Structures are given as structure tokens and as C-alpha cells.
Amino acid sequence: MAPVEDDTTYADETVDDTYASTNYGNSTVTGGIKPRKENFILKKIFSTCEHDALGSVHRAWAVTVLFMVLFFIVAIIEANQISDDEEVSNALCIASYWSAFLHLTFAILGTFVLKRFSTAFAVGCFLGCSVVISQQNLFMFAAFIKYQHGSVFGNVIFADLAFALFGLLTFFSLILGHFRHYIIVK
């Protein structure tokens, strides 16, 4: 039977596998504290943010929320312009409304998670949703950048804002993932 390890990770980035020193069958695993593996690329990128990790995450989220509110307004305007055109499919109109709703909801719930409810589960779900919505913005950019119905200028503005949010949410996901131990309260 293979040994079972308990790898509890602490805020100081150490791993405690003390309870792994149990004998299972013919093998014994000795416990102890060992350093956690780090992503050196992210550590190098975010080295200037290390002294104020919590503040860096909150500032990145504040900028992202500002863009999401702007995106919400532009998405509603875009959906209204698309719905006014008679020969347009309703799919992109619904996608625009749905995207506006998701961004507004995500901004509110994300702020709640960062400020009030920073458990490991909530921060993990928040990080996953951030990645998914970031990818959704990339798809919205691809769908609207060359769209010829409605206002072409409005389509380009909407697509460019979706691409900017893709970049912002990707950056935010990286910084939140890197500094998640400073956000999570035990």
C-alpha cells in the first residue's frame, strides 16, 4: 500500500507533512516541514509587489472593476444597437446582455470575496471564475471585432473593451493566484 501524505500548506509557504510518518505496509514515510515549490517566473514578475501583496491584489481588482463597469455600460448599449437591426440574429444580442450581467455580478461578488469572505474555497472559486470570464472576453472579442451589423464603430469599441478585459482579468488571475496566501484568512 502506498504512503499517504498530508501536505498542509501554511502562509509562510512551508508544507507540513508531519502526519505522513505513519507506517503503511512495508514502507514508512518520515514527516517534517519542507519548503513549498514556487513558480519562479511569477515570483520574478511580481517581485516589486511582494512588499504589499494584499494592496497589490486590491488595486488590481479596483482597476478591473472600473473596466467591468465600463464594459457593462458598453455591452448594454451594444445589445440595444444590435436588437434594433431587423436582419440580425439574436445570438449576439443575448451574448452581449449575458456578458453585461456576468461582469456586473462578478464585480459585486468578487469584491465581497476579497473584502469579507476570503476563505480558501471562496478565493479558489473566485480565481476559477476570473479565468473563465477572462476566456469569455476573448471569445467576445473574436465574435464582435469583424461584425458588420448594428453600429460597426460600436462593435469595435465593444470588442476592444472585451480584449482589454481579457488582458486585465488574466493579469488579475495571475496576481491573485500568486498572492492567494495573503488573501485567504484561516
What is the per-residue pLDDT across 66-112, written as a single tens digit (0 to 9) for each?
Answer: 999 999 999 999 898 888 877 777 888 899 999 999 999 999 999 99
What is this structure's pTM?
Answer: 0.73
Residue 36 banded pLDDT, cuts 50, 70, 90? low
Closest CA to 137 of 66, 75, 60: 75
Count of helices and strands (H, E) across the chain:
6, 5
Per-residue pLDDT at 119 exceeds 60: yes
Residues 6+ apart with CB under 8 A from 116: none
140: CB partners within 8 A, 6+ apart: 95, 96, 99, 158, 159, 162
Spatial neighbors of 96 by CB under 8 A, at least 6 apart, are 75, 76, 78, 79, 82, 140, 158
Q: How far is CA 150 from the centre of its chain?
A: 31
- Cβ atoms of residues 159 and 127 within 8 Å: no
Q: Write down the residue that cell numbers 469572505 correspond to.
A: 117
3-class SS of residue 147: coil
